[in-house]
Amino acid sequence: QVQLVQSGAEVRKPGASVKVSCKASGYTFSTYHIHWVRQAPGQGLEWMGIINPSGDSTTYAQKFRGRVSMTTDTSTTTVYMELSSLRSDDTAVYFCARAGLYNVADYWGQGTLVTAST
């Protein structure tokens, strides 16, 4: 069965960086792109960007360009999202999701809470 398993919760100080991983299994990794979506406490969903499985094509939401980097490791079928220059309003749960037919997010990871706080 398709599974996306994310790394555990992280706490960082403002200005630092965080790297979240998303390990994919149960499907052919090379066939599907991966989305990253975040959700601040009590707020809605925010699309951050998408990466192809080989990692050589990314599209980021304008809001995150210059601060976000998405990469893949095909040998371990793992996708990474690194966010730099963290601010307190980056505190959120970060989700990875497989981009299925029509790019729809058909399978989701469990989410990773990132807290940016002094």
Partner 1 sequence: DIQLTQSPSFLSASVGDRVEITCRASQDISSSLAWYQQKPGKAPKLLIYAASILQSGVPSRFSGSGSRTDFTLTISSLQPEDFATYYCQHLNSFPLTFGGGTKVEIK
Q: Which of residues 47-76 bind partner 1 (CB under 8 A)?
A: 47, 50, 59, 61-62
CB 99 within 8 A of CB 108: no
3 belongs to the binding site for partner 1 (CB under 8 A): no
Q: What are phi and psi of 75, to 5 degrees?
A: -70, -25
C-beta neighbour count of 15 within 10 angstroms: 11
* 108 near partner 1, judged by CB under 8 A: yes
25 binds partner 1 (CB under 8 A): no
| Selection from 39, 63, 48, 62 nearest residue 99 by Cα | 48
Q: Please provide the size of the chain in residues.
A: 118
Q: In the complex with partner 1, which residue's Cβ is closer, 16 or 61?
A: 61
Minimum CB distance to partner 1, residue 108 (Å): 4
Nearer to partner 1, 92 or 97 (CB): 97
